[in-house]
Structure 1
Amino acid sequence: MQLPSIFLMTAQGGQQGGSGFSFIFLGLMILIFWLFMIRPQAKKAKEQKKYIENLQKGDKIVTIAGIHGTINKVNEDGTISLEVSPGSYLKIEKSTISMEMTAAVNKKAAGTTETKA
């Protein structure tokens, strides 16, 4: 029996014992959706927000557009001044900074520095 027909029968009072099963099934679907979709996404958003709040001058970052640079100044209006090359500055929103790409680039840079030493 297909899922829509189960819900239609339950709504019409067609199956006496099936309504409890339908509600349990629906509850389990919502629980699984929350565990695998909503919870991890909320956790990641919280980590991203914390990461952006802790940025400071001198940090090397990568934006979601792929622009690499060093933070020159953190402004109060939610923007930063990003030095992309000596003497060239861009004013960007803090929300455009990619935590994952920045971590990957910094990890790769740390690995090449240790190899040279």
Structure 2
Amino acid sequence: MGSLSTFIPLIIFVAIFYFLLIRPQQKRTKETKEMQSSLSRGDKIVTIGGLQGTIDSIDDQTVVLRCGTSKLTFERSAIRGVLKKSGANVHAENEKKDAKEESAEKAEN
């Protein structure tokens, strides 16, 4: 019985560590991957270095950004966030959100 009581604080510590550190990091990583996979031509983005530009072209690994009159090539993973989706993408993103909301409502009922 004594050995069980010594493991309980360790188990609690591991559970707290998981819910406060590991799980939120996994969620951020998933959101970043989803954002990077939904990029398309015309989106206004910001890189991890703070450079802002518009996507001129994109493939599986690289993104060509138009910044004023210059074009710069970056790895897709160097994109931190989307500032503004292009017009065609806004409609597609809204449809995805609506579908997620509907599935969440069905799951609640």
Q: Which has the higher contact order (CA 8 A, sep 6+)?
A: 2
Do structure 1's residue 38 and structure 2's residue 5 form an aligned pair?
A: no
Which of 64, 81, 103 pairs up with 1:81? 64
Q: Which has the larger strand fraction?
A: 2
Partner of 1:93: 75
Q: For residues 1-80 of structure 1, what are the structure 2 equivalents within 5 Å?
A: 17=2, 19-76=3-60, 78-80=61-63
Long gaps (5+) in structure 1: 1-15, 107-117
Long gaps (5+) in structure 2: 85-109
Find the structure with the greater CA-based Rg.
1
Note the alpha carbon deviations across 1:81-111, whole angstroms, 9 max, x for none. Answer: 100113x100100111112xx45xx5xxxxx
How big is the shift at 1:30? Answer: 0.4
Runs (4+) off by over 4 Å: none
Query: What TM-score results when the alignment is normalised by the length of structure 1?
Result: 0.67
Q: Tell me the SS of whatever aligns to 1:20.
A: helix
Distance 1:30 1:49 in 2: 27
How big is the shift at 1:24? Answer: 0.7
Question: What do you get for the CA RMSD once the two structures are aligned?
Answer: 1.4
How big is the shift at 1:75? Answer: 1.7
How big is the shift at 1:21? Answer: 1.7
Aligned residues, how many? Answer: 84
How big is the shift at 1:80? Answer: 0.5
